Amino acid sequence: MKLRLVTIGKPKLPYATVGWNEYVGRLQRLHTVQVNHLGDKYAEDAAKIQEAVVGTYVVAMEITGQMLDSLQLADFLTNRELEAREVSFIIGGPDGLPNKIREHADFRWSLSRLTLPHDLAMVVTCEALFRASTIKAGLPYHR
């Protein structure tokens, strides 16, 4: 399955850089993963963000989106794979995503109702995707 991880900015804090690299590396063992870090200057540029996800099933990371547990996320990924859809996960900047991106996304996913620091949200997203992918693949990590 093909996944795109589109972020505004890169992880900046040391723990987040290590975590991001660890989980993106793990995801790459299970999926074809494309990472696109857009510069902070594009945080409100809906056209630039949309350009990075054109032709894919778009998931906007949004605090008011639908929360999924790990099994539900595994089912979500399975359904996209059965549809032969490449999936893009967009992680906005510290102030979130532009309204146009949220409104036109195919799905809005919330990690939590808590406001997470931007760097932590990037790591948690990757870990959640990896955990769901191991469930989908029948691997023991998720236990």
Q: Which structural domains are found in the chain, ordered by start?
A: 2-142 (3.40.1280.10)
Residue type, 51: E
pTM: 0.95
What's the whole-number average pLDDT of the chain?
96
> What is the band of 141 on the pLDDT scale with cuts at 50, 70, 90?
confident
Strands 57-67 and 87-91: parallel
| Phi, psi at 46, each rounded to 5° | -60, -35
pLDDT tens, 67-112? 999 999 999 999 999 999 999 999 999 889 999 999 999 999 999 9
